[in-house]
Structure 1
Amino acid sequence: MSLAKPVMRGLLAKRLRLHLPIAFAVALTIAVGVKYGITEPRKWAYAEFYKNYDANKEFNSMREAGIFESVRPSGK
């Protein structure tokens, strides 16, 4: 008794019919998860930070601390 030959004709097409929609669904799920799990909270955090951010005040505090070599502290 011998083993039956495996069916090779159309094997790729049959496998792709199953695995391609699964791959697209997984990729779409991950993309949506990254968008709403990482990107949107990060955009919200940046927006919250820059609502009350005063660049001139920050610059003056860094200048007073002596961080910049090319800018002298005021009053000295």
Structure 2
Amino acid sequence: MASEVLAKPQMRGLLARCLRIHMVGAFLVSLGVAALCKLGMAEPRKKAYADFYRNYDPEKDFEETKKAGIFHSIK
């Protein structure tokens, strides 16, 4: 019972092996987060800006702002 042999722990190269595994994992996670931000935030924002400016009339907006009295120097 006491004669069971335990496996020797890896002593050489342990840090390098662990760092290699963790670096690959961190790289994959960062790629996933970048793709999620691109598809989840950037693309909808670009679409919203495109939709807004498709029908935007700056002259009409200026006249509405002028009628509201926001510009004090314009009569």
Which residue of the partner structure matches residue 16 of structure 2?
Answer: 13
The 2-side partners of 1:68 and 1:12 are apart by 66
With the length of structure 2 as denominator, give the TM-score of the two structures: 0.82
Which residue of the partner structure matches residue 27 of structure 1?
Answer: 30
1:1-45 per-position Cα deviation (integer Å, ceiling 9, x unaligned): xxxxx6554222011121111100000000000001000000000
Which contiguous aligned blocks of 4+ residues in structure 1 show a shift greater than 6 angstroms?
none
**Sequence identity of aligned pairs in percent?**
54
How many residue pairs get aligned? The number is 68
Q: Which runs of 5+ in 2 are unaligned?
A: 1-8
With the length of structure 1 as denominator, give the TM-score of the two structures: 0.81
